[in-house]
Amino acid sequence: MITSRRGRGLLAATAVSAATVLVVTAAGGATAAQTAGPDQGKAAQGETLGGREQKGNYDARTPSAKTTYARAAKVAGKETAASEKFRNSLGTQGVVEVDPNTGTPAQVTKLDGFLTGRSAKKAQDIALNYVKAHPEVFKLSADDLATLKLRKDYVDDLGTHHIFWTQVVDGIEVFGNGLKANVTKNGQLISIMGAPVAGLTSQAQARSAAAAPKLTAAGARSAAAEDIGGTAKSATAKTTGAETRFSNGDIVEQVWFHTADGLRKGWMTYVNTGGTKIYTHVIDAQTGGLLYRRNLSSDGVGDALVQDNYPGAAKGGTQRVENLIYNKWLPKNAKTLLEGTSVAAWADVNDNNQPDAGETVKVPGTRTTAEYKLTPFNASSICSATFVCSWDPAKPDSWKTNLNQDVTNGFYLASNFHDWLAKPPISFTPAAGSFDAAGGDPVLLNALDGAATAANGGPDANHVNNANMNTPPDGIPPTMQMYLFGTPGDNTTVATSSSNSADILYHEYGHGLSNRLVVDATGNSTLNSIQAGAMGEAWSDFYALDYLVSHGLEKDTTAPGEVLEGKYVTGGGSIRTQAIDCRVRAKAPACVAADGSQGGYTYGDFPAIGGAPQVHASGEVWAQTLWDLRERFGRSYAVSIITRAMELAPNDPTMLDMRNAIVQADLVASGGKNADIIWTVFANRGMGWYAGVVDGGDAFPAEDFHKPPKGATTTLTGTVKDKDTGAPVAGALVYVGGHASGFAGDYADATDANGTFGITGVAPGTYPKVVVSAPGYELIVQPVTVKPGATATFEPRRNWAAASGGGSVVDFNGPDYSPQCGPDYAIDNAQGTGWGSTTGDDNATPTNQMIPKHIDVKLPETVDISAFNVDPSNTCGDPGSSSTGQYKIETSADGTTWATAAEGTFTAENRGKYNLVNPTGNATGVQYVRFWMLSPQVPDFATNCPDGAFGGCQFTDMTELQVFGTK
């Protein structure tokens, strides 16, 4: 039987990459370590302003529980002379980023030029010829090249070809891996990406011969639904080839899935179980285990009366007549349903994602009049002529009064924004992945979503003050859910519908843009980590507000602090902490940080903007930086390179990666004439040359305000040795964090038997985040000043509990959620993974009573313990409340007699980082350590469980246990 938990998941994080030297993307160790705060377990770009906690993202590939920095170090240490020669041929601003899972390039590119010269050859041939010419790097045989299948080749408004090849063997596609290439209109190769699988055919044959799939398509669909706490809806199925489509819109397709342990056969699913439970999964076809989970929801006939901004706005706030057929948003014969060329809209008041009786809207317009005039409500003191309320929360059924107007206005705004995004310089066309009925994926706009889900006829707590947009891959319709705003007695929120707020609806639509442009070779969005998710929110704000300002609907003069997201629903305020046009050091009421300081944000503010790292607040630094570019270059050019950069982005990018992609987009558009201005803008925001970030999961980046240095480079040499013994540490991965994925001068190396390393071509200066990871040791991050003749010494402590150093889990209680979230991941030395267990019984039945869970770890030697290090964070995609609260640590010499060594309680402030715990006794002569999870971090546990909105009522987790001391 397949359990409902399905192995669960974790917040996926981007891999570490590099330039100039060979860099191997690495995972695990620093991912969650840099992701603190109560929102860690949420999907990276979720619009969760209220309601239940949701499961986050999980990926069993790179980065994942199966991939460690040690694995990356091994790949780096095996670089051949031929691949080194190739890397050096790209110059100081070249990039060769290798995926440690496949051993093939995740990215090959340059910042200061192109990989090839001009050519009149076909763009696809240019890219493939380059791959064939460099087997020392790409490692693809003729058989491997034969598995490539062209998925898409489209041309953007700069003339650049964006080409995608999937890998297919035995009629089954590889999930995620493949080839992506970008070629200019002049035939110059910009980049190759994708981490294709080498030796695919032989691996597939071996896997097929080993075992046939045991799980059916229907079984995979049910497993995916159960994993997110839902139930697969009754539906008929039709199978064509490897794909099965269900009558309710669910899709199941057989795929290959490549992990660090080899090729697996799986089922990729798109399942909608109602509400925001809309996910893509890959379920192992043999074991039923979870291989991948991604939350697809991103939180927040004639004449019709519509408004362009919001009801009451000074500009665009008065209803006007717009003909929905004339604009070709509806067909001429449309009558009873607003089902158009790019949008299908209805009032999904019961939240079943279907247009039921009473939820559809007659196409507006009669022979003599336009239809659906808005009826204002005087619901609270915040309602006014300038911020019109459209319902009364104290009268739950009052939303019915403006139902027709609400659905029609939402249809108009979404249709209008579709056409705006399709125009240059954005050029979000069907070829690029736009949402169109002709392509089978119009936006399914659920207006007034869940407005009748409460017992009194109004919205329940999960369907108010929010909006969201889920974005499946191209060809599958997305769902946009627009909720009511306002609750009884609330005088701070305008009682209205998000379908009446252009900035909110356009923000949600913007998630569709970014999730369709920043994708892997098979078209799946890679905006997974906190940095990528923060940019997802920022892009949505940017494109929404860019539209309103461009059309004169919102004011943007030279004065700062004018352009606000969420102005309508807040009655003139903002749902962000600052205005998007707040420049650094600007003085304006809307440009004041929480600590009272004046001026817009810089990169170092990332974790503090919202009080803790969180995608909406943390993303404000990126949104303001994009607005800086808009001010420096003007709207047209800025929007062009910002959009084109998304198409050039590596998977799951950091903000520094995207800065580099914008530099590359300018290289394509202008030959690099504006590079200095772009660097000036980013350096001013703290994203300068020496800025440091461990990876995409790093919520505590180190800022820098320098542009790229000029002059001679040097070599960073040094040693890594055991802090307690002084012995050299071999096989440690050393890299300069932040200089990754298209960044000139990114550096990495692995230590030799003497614990020494040498990284050539390093620009002198102080790098705030140099990262060292070695098997059996703690991961450390420290600043290093690089100058001729200088050396660096790193002294990590031996982690005696680490599995890579000989530690092992010898006993535990509770369910075993291996291979994804089993107890072994509490000692895998990687915070990107962890041990997930239940709060109550082994079946994860929600309860208000904790059944304590423990693991027993045997150390490889008898140790006198000096300290424990614990990350109590939620893992496996569980929400933040699943983190360990109360805990106890016991020790033993023989594994039989136990005594307490430490105990206490962790809170939300302890999440996402290691917390040093000093033993209070029983710390000498220890060979066994027992860690107890005694409670989750659910507030007021007895009251809020079992039926509350907290994931900790079901699951209790911890990420990592480390043990320091001397043998």
**pLDDT level of residue 786 (50, 70, 90 thresholds):** very high
Residue 187 tokens read as 């035939």
Encode pLDDT of 451-495 as tens digits.
999 988 899 988 999 999 999 999 999 999 999 999 999 999 999
**298 - beta bridge partners?**
469
Interval 38-47 mean pLDDT: 30
**pLDDT level of residue 47 (50, 70, 90 thresholds):** very low
pLDDT at residue 920, as a whole number: 97
Q: Please, where are the H alpha helices in 44-192?
A: 69-77, 81-89, 123-133, 135-138, 142-146
**DSSP single-letter state for residue 25:** -
pLDDT at residue 2, as a whole number: 21
**149 - beta bridge partners?**
166
Cα dihedral 938, 941, 946, 951 in deg (nearest 10)? 10
Contacts of 679 (CB under 8 A, 6+ apart): 663, 688, 689, 707, 708
Nearest-angstrom CA–CA distance, 101 and 735 = 18
Which of 25-34, 79-88, 907-916 is least confident?
A: 25-34
**DSSP single-letter state for residue 721:** B
Residue 114 tokens read as 């192109």
Which of 66-80, 400-414, 903-917 is least confident?
A: 66-80
Q: Looking at the domain 803-966, which fold is it?
A: Jelly Rolls (2.60.120)
Q: Please, where are the H alpha helices in 554-654?
A: 615-618, 620-633, 635-647
Nearest-angstrom CA–CA distance, 636 and 722 = 55
Residue 22 has pLDDT above 90, yes or no: no
Interval 6-25 mean pLDDT: 27
Nearest-angstrom CA–CA distance, 685 and 404 = 45
Taken in order 828, 830, 832, 837, is the CA torsion positive or negative? Answer: positive
pLDDT at residue 1, as a whole number: 22
3-class DSSP state for residue 42?
A: coil
pLDDT at residue 74, as a whole number: 62
Encode pLDDT of 114-145 as tens digits.
999 999 999 999 999 999 999 999 999 999 99
Nearest-angstrom CA–CA distance, 788 and 437 = 61
Nearest-angstrom CA–CA distance, 947 and 941 = 11
Which of 422-426, 608-612, 720-724, 921-925 is least confident?
A: 608-612
pLDDT at residue 302, as a whole number: 63
Encode pLDDT of 275-296 as tens digits.
677 889 999 888 888 888 888 7
Interval 32-52 mean pLDDT: 32
Which of 36-40, 225-229, 767-771 is least confident?
A: 36-40
Is there a contact between 591 and 598 (Cβ–Cβ < 8 Å)? Answer: yes
Residue 21 has pLDDT above 50, yes or no: no
Q: How many CB atoms lie within 10 A of CB 460?
A: 15
Packed helices 655-670 and 635-647: angle between N→C axes, nearest 10 degrees = 120
Domain ranges, ordered by start, for the chain: 303-501, 530-684, 803-966
Residue 5 has pLDDT above 50, yes or no: no
Interval 83-93 mean pLDDT: 81
Q: Distances in Å between the alpha carbon of 808 and those of 666, 774, 829?
A: 51, 17, 12
Encode pLDDT of 101-118 as tens digits.
788 888 999 888 999 999
pLDDT at residue 742, as a whole number: 29
Interval 230-242 mean pLDDT: 85
Amino acid of residue 760: T
Q: Which helix (H) or strand (E) holds 224?
A: helix 217-227
pLDDT at residue 64, as a whole number: 41
91-95, 413-417, 773-777, 949-953, range with greatest mean pLDDT: 413-417
Ramachandran assignment for 387, one of left (phi > 0), alpha (psi -120 to 50 degrees), beta (any other) = beta
pLDDT at residue 80, as a whole number: 79
What global pTM score does this model have? 0.86
pLDDT at residue 231, as a whole number: 85
Nearest-angstrom CA–CA distance, 315 and 321 = 15
Interval 665-678 mean pLDDT: 97
Interval 225-254 mean pLDDT: 86
Residue 308 has pLDDT above 80, yes or no: yes
Interval 256-267 mean pLDDT: 87
pLDDT at residue 298, as a whole number: 64
Nearest-angstrom CA–CA distance, 238 and 252 = 10
Which of 87-91, 527-531, 824-828 is least confident?
A: 87-91
pLDDT at residue 490, as a whole number: 92
- In the chain, % of residues over pLDDT 90: 67
Nearest-angstrom CA–CA distance, 716 and 73 = 17
Nearest-angstrom CA–CA distance, 795 and 964 = 13
Short-list 878, 882, 958, CA closest to 914: 958
The DSSP annotation for 248-263 comes to: TS-EEEEEEEEETTEE
Nearest-angstrom CA–CA distance, 71 and 268 = 27
Nearest-angstrom CA–CA distance, 267 and 257 = 9
Residue 696 has pLDDT above 90, yes or no: no
Query: Architecture of domain 530-684 in CATH?
Result: Orthogonal Bundle (1.10)
Q: What is the CA radius of gyration of the chain?
A: 27
**pLDDT level of residue 77 (50, 70, 90 thresholds):** low
Nearest-angstrom CA–CA distance, 158 and 706 = 30
Short-list 349, 324, 327, CA closest to 338: 324
pLDDT at residue 241, as a whole number: 85
Query: Architecture of domain 303-501 in CATH?
Result: Roll (3.10)
More confident: 248 or 688: 688
**pLDDT level of residue 78 (50, 70, 90 thresholds):** low
Interval 724-735 mean pLDDT: 92
**Strands in 743-847 per DSSP E:** 748-750, 756-762, 765-773, 780-786, 791-794, 808-812, 835-838
Residue 29 has pLDDT above 70, yes or no: no
Is there a contact between 904 and 933 (Cβ–Cβ < 8 Å)? Answer: no
Short-list 741, 728, 661, CA closest to 694: 741
More confident: 188 or 804: 188
